[in-house]
Amino acid sequence: MRARCIGRAIGPGWCRMDSDTFYRVADPDEKLRPLAVRPRQAATMLGISVSSLERLNKAGEIPRIKDGNKVFYRVATLDTWLARRETFEQDGAA
């Protein structure tokens, strides 16, 4: 089933489906996946509070996108941030 655009078009292949999330249709048979999310959703994805997310943004660790009064965080950026912070536990055995 094809997605129907509601509101204004953002650019080629982009569709703004609601005020919380941007979606891109890569393949009509695939489920829609978000490209950018609002702060509350981003904080939930990272497992932190919204205020912690704002602190990280002010420290320059996680960039954001501003569209007027609305703020969005790219899902790919959040994934990259998590990957950079990932550490591997090593047991004491040498």
If one compares 13 and 32, the residue with the highest pLDDT of the two is 32
Domains, the chain, ordered by start: 14-85 (1.10.10.10)
Band of residue 26 on the pLDDT scale cut at 50, 70, 90: low
pTM, two decimal places: 0.60
Residues 6 or more apart whose CB falls under 8 angstroms from that of 92 comprise none
* pLDDT score of 87: 79
pLDDT at 36 exceeding the cut of 90: yes
pLDDT digits (tens, 9 = 90+) for 57-87: 999 989 999 999 999 999 999 998 888 888 7
CA 6 to chain centroid, in Å, comes to 20
Half-sphere exposure of 88 (CA within 13 A, CB side): 1
Q: Cβ atoms within 10 A of the Cβ of 49, count?
A: 12
Strand 33-37 and strand 70-74: the pairing is antiparallel
